[in-house]
Amino acid sequence: RLLPDIPSWLAPSDPAVIDGFFRGNTSLYDPVILRGWAIPVLSWSVFIFAIFWTLLCAMTLMRRPWVEDERLTFPLVVLPLEMTGGTEASGTPFWKSPLMWTGFLIAALLESTNFLNFLIPNFPVVPIKPSMGQNALHNLELFKVRPWNTMGTLYLSFYPFAIGIGYLLSLEVSFSCWFLYLMTKVATIFCYVVGISDGVGGGPGNRAPFLKEQAVGSFIGIALFSAWAARKALADAWREMERPTGADRNELMSFRLAILGGLIGIAFLIVFLLSAGLSPTVAIIFVFVYICFALTLARIVSEAGAGWAWAPPWSVAAFTGDSVGISSLSPKETTVLLGYLSWTSDMRDNPMPQAAQQVKIAQLAAFSPRAYLAPLLIAAAAGILLAFWAHLDIYYEFGASSAKVRPALVGASKNASNYAATLLATPTGQDMTGLIAAGFGTLIAVGLSVMRQLFPWWPLHPLGYALATTQSMEYMWFPFFLAWFVKRIILRYGGIRAYRTGLPFFLGLILGDYIVPTLWGIFGMLSGYQQYMAFPH
């Protein structure tokens, strides 16, 4: 039903190519299948690379405002720099620190215990994640009755790496993350009690307090405020483009290339969407919102350390459609637009946060980022093509619809197709209620940003608000609470010196929680045994 409206250069249409993809027991290297995928893979590869390039240009322009002017903390770069002897913030070489190895061993023992329990059910288990033991508060009898059960899920988790990352955050950021997340639960219960919501669910009576709409508004508000706060640096970059003085020699690329390249990249993305079947208005809204989401995700990772950061549940594609009204779109435009739902619903792999960490590492390590621009672009292009090859090879061997492959990846596309089919059958109009709620979220995010600038003591951070309204804090709020509590006690009674002394322990938690599950994963690949999933559930 949907396939005729999808351009042939975006998806294969040959039944043999499609059938083998889902059923498996077929070779990707069959000439018919290779021909069927050649143009779609090339088209999507160019589109993805254009996104990468555009966001890289944007990050070049935002480096000075974030790294030098606002001095964002970039918590995720602390560990790699300590590992390579870049800072030695604690005063003791990283690899010789007893505290680091203590944290490492604690994480290693916790994770190894659970890996062994997965293989040997009688082995003891340590309930680190929500799916283990009774780590879900909403399963308690108290929270199974009205009005408390309207709050939805409330997980407890004890991920060592998340506690370690939380220790690296400023107190206002970590406090805002867990506190505002809990406030979303309070708001949900309140809306039910006062009668403006029927409770948790997907029905029209359950939208209040409009969390997914507030999430979109907060992401757009943070992006716009970040651009406004960087206005002087952006103006300087424009002048440098017009009359080069060499002031951009320490940037990833020249400001001229960043500005012109970014504009060309944006234009290409819009033209690509137009060619696929979207109208100019829809294409422009889509690209604008996507870039806003990417910019805010980069800010979240750079200041809140939430590498596992979700975009708003109201995805770019869905928000764009609801902004103009699905009923105003042609069936082809609806199909094409919502076809982008699968990769705009989950933006955890967005490249802009990684680009932000790279420019910070370059500054701290005192080398010019220009040296790795070309390798970065080559690696991105190779990575895109290799990712297509790896997935297609697996799907044609085992079958995308079989139980032998992880269902989530293909499930995202199925959900997008089902959503498109539903809206084609019953088109909806412009969602003015949702847009007003999103505007309210923008005002809150901008208001929190202004308060932080006017009052240094202001405890609530806009990034905490953005994270609280997405899935990011579902599993991370309690580790961030624990880290905030411990860090607050340490700073209050021991000061900054005690904080630095304890830093290697928390870095060890992060390192151990990544190294040991990786080693267990390698063991699983070599032995053929399915392994325990350390994160998130």
The Cα-based distances of 133 to 119, 142, 440 in angstroms read 17, 17, 39
Tally the C-alpha atoms within 13 A of residue 513's C-alpha that lie toward its C-beta: 22
d(CA 176, CA 198): 28
Q: Which two tokens stand for residue 449?
A: 């940003």
pLDDT at res. 273: 96
Question: Pick from 126, 299, 109, 276: which is nearest to 219 by CA?
Answer: 299
d(CA 516, CA 115): 10
User: Distance from CA of residue 535 to its chain's centroid?
Assistant: 15
CB burial of 426-462 (b: ≥16 within 10 Å; e: otherwise) equals eeeeebeebbebbbbbbebbbebbeebeeeeeeebbb
Q: Spell out, as residue ranges, where the chain has pLDDT lower than 50.
A: 201-205
pLDDT at res. 401: 85
The Cα-based distances of 402 to 37, 298, 474 in angstroms read 21, 36, 29
pLDDT at res. 49: 97
d(CA 318, CA 216): 11
Asked if residues 13 and 3 have their Cβ atoms less than 8 Å apart, the reply is: yes
d(CA 229, CA 223): 10
Residue type, 149: N
pLDDT at res. 135: 67
The structure's pTM equals: 0.93
**Which residues have CB under 8 Å from 38's CB, separation 6+?**
none
**Which residues have CB under 8 Å from 225's CB, separation 6+?**
445, 446, 449, 462
3-state secondary structure 448-503: HHHHHHHCCCCCCCHHHHHHHCCCHHHHHHHHHHHHHHHHHHHHHHHHHHHHHHHH
pLDDT at res. 359: 84
Alpha helices by DSSP H, listed for 64-97, are 78-83
Q: Convert the pLDDT of each residue in 401-447 to its tens digit.
A: 887 887 777 777 888 888 888 898 999 999 999 999 999 999 999 99
d(CA 87, CA 72): 17
pLDDT at res. 158: 92
Q: Convert the pLDDT of each residue in 98-121 to its tens digit.
A: 999 999 999 999 999 999 999 999
Residue 136 φ/ψ, nearest 5 degrees: -125, 110
d(CA 288, CA 187): 30
Residue type, 469: T
CB burial of 326-359 (b: ≥16 within 10 Å; e: otherwise) equals beebebbbbbbbbbbbbbbbebeebbbbbbbbbb
**Which residues have CB under 8 Å from 415's CB, separation 6+?**
341, 342, 345
